[in-house]
Amino acid sequence: MSKNLSELSGRKGLDKNLFEEYGNASAATGTPDLEDLERLREEFLVGKSTVYGAVSFYDFLRPENKGKKVYICNGSACMTAGTQVKLHSKLQTAYSENEIGEMCCLGRCHENSAFYINGKNFSGNDIDNLPAIRSNQQHTAEKYHVGSAGNAILTVAQPELKTYYSILTDALKRNPIDLLGELKKSGLRGRGGAGFSTAFKLEACRNAGDSTKFIVCNADEGDPGAFSDRYIMEERPHSLLMGMILAGYMTGAAHGVVYIRGEYPESVEIISAAIEELKKLGFVGDNIQGSSFSFHFKVIKAQGAYICGEETALLSSIEGQRPEVRVRPPYPAQKGLFNKPTVVSNVETLANIPFIIKNGGQAFASIGTEKSSGTKLISLDSHFNRPGIYEVDMGTSLRHVVDVMAGGFKTPVKAMHIGGPLGGLVPVSKIDSLTVDFDSFAKEGFLLGHASVVCIPADYPLIHYIEHLFRFTAHESCGKCFPCRIGSTRGYEMIEKARTTDYKMERQLLDDLLETLEVGSLCALGGGVPLPVKNALHYFGDELKSYFIEK
């Protein structure tokens, strides 16, 4: 990271944002032309390498994107469902091959056959209405189950806005330190994967000595198979927005940024409309509800980069820099966006805050387990009889989720990849050993993460899936550290060679590669991909042994 570039980007604040200007410049053709980049370089006083290095990184901005008119989801859930080859063939009846691109992932994991056209997402049987879709006369018919077991916090119906925002009105009459105390009592841990204490982040930001602070919502939920953040933004947007305002009040931050995946166009529209509604009602802006507290929102549409789910890469992205992971310390709570103290939390984490402030920290802590309090949203893909979003108390048995809530599997499944591409590969034989909480998964050698579930069908070759994970990591790597950038590439090269030729892998060589990725990578992308590969080698050794040298 360049501190100077962060300062230069921050000169214009959030109103005129360099990253957004890249997107605006690419709107007509799919990629900015050189004249636009030169204009932006001069306006923001940054170098040519900065603007080109950033633009060439993102899937939706890079020159290869030029002329694309439709995009197919290439996420893990659609891949294992086997729907995308047929979808591609149908799209070829209306588009040339050069007009068809790829996106990962569209969050339509519950029914697959997902594609993006005219700024909208489609899935399931939508492809059968392609002529109407192309003329903007047909909207998606997407449907998925939403249910809960135990306490419903994020899936409960919300009251009328003025009634719901009485939580905020009442909170503004209280001392923010007292509210932060309630958050500490709740034991709320980040729902984005790491499970870090939310109160600790907010307190660190509050104690940082700067008058300008930011609350950044990481809505760049790029884990294939996860669509819980999309559910909140599209069905419960005010839980998120009020959570951000309350976080701002507790930390002394007056600015909130919602950084939303470009693959979720409906989420961008709904969140933007919800913010406008709050402005009219006086729940956002200057001196909210007659108080001395002000809070302003900025919605930023991302441009296709999984690494932006890593908090420091996300901050670099907002600043218009290449989204590379930053070395810590300093942490974002000390020096984050534009070098100002910043809290970065994901959608589900922030959406829990209104419940905690309304009902008290103890009410939240009493749900779930001692170390994993509250509830968790789970995303279930199309291999279940009732795919969709389910909310369960932390500590709920995974067997209950699979058999009772989801109605079991539609077809035979041998494993579930839980927690995104960096999560654990859980064989179905381990279902009875797991409960939905951070510690249960960690104890068994897995990772709960976002709690997204991508099923591996019984007849799907695991060697293909492992190669897919390495390729995904190589494509999404920010390139800053050698282990991730080179190791992931060597990984898929090795797997592909063993899969397509008579080459046999040395187990020690693969183990050494995984160890290098795990201990040498700068962030969880390179450091996390060894987990599912190790799980596959451990639990499915018989299936994979033919690809290795016999000993």
CA distance 235 to 195: 24
Q: Is the peptide bond before 483 cis (omega within 30 degrees of 0)?
A: no
Question: Residue 2: pLDDT band by 50, 70, 90 thresholds?
Answer: low
Task: Please give the pLDDT value at position 13.
Answer: 82
What percent of the chain has a predicted confidence (pLDDT) above 90? Answer: 86
439 in Cβ contact with 371 (< 8 Å): yes
DSSP 392-416: EETT-BHHIIIIIIS-SBSS-EEEE
Give the tens place of pLDDT for each residue, 52-95. Answer: 999 999 998 988 888 899 999 999 999 999 999 999 999 999 99
Q: Name the strands in the sheet holding 145-149, side by side, starting at the edge strand that comes first in the sequence.
A: 145-149, 388-393, 375-380, 452-457, 413-418, 424-427
Give the pLDDT of residue 173.
97
Q: Is the pLDDT of residue 1 over 70?
A: no
Average pLDDT of the residues in 132-145: 89
Question: Phi-psi bin for 150: left (phi > 0), alpha (psi -120 to 50), beta?
Answer: left
Secondary structure letter of residue 215 according to DSSP: E
What is the length of the chain? 551
Q: Is the pTM of this model over 0.85?
A: yes
Q: What is the pLDDT of residues 416-468, one digit of tens each?
A: 999 999 999 999 999 999 999 999 999 999 999 889 999 999 999 999 999 99
Lowest average pLDDT, out of 215-224, 244-253, 506-515, goes to: 215-224
Q: What domains appear along the chain, each with residue ranges and CATH number?
A: 70-140 (3.40.30.10), 148-365 (3.40.50.11540), 375-457 (3.10.20.600), 462-547 (1.20.1440.230)
Q: Which two tokens stand for residue 8?
A: 């230069």
pLDDT exceeds 50 at position 292: yes
Q: How many CA atoms lie within 13 A of 461 on its CB side?
A: 11
Task: Note if the bond before 105 is cis, omega within 30 degrees.
Answer: yes
Comparison of pLDDT for 344 and 10, the residue scoring more: 344
Both tokens of 56, joined, read 């060439």
pLDDT the model gives residue 64: 85
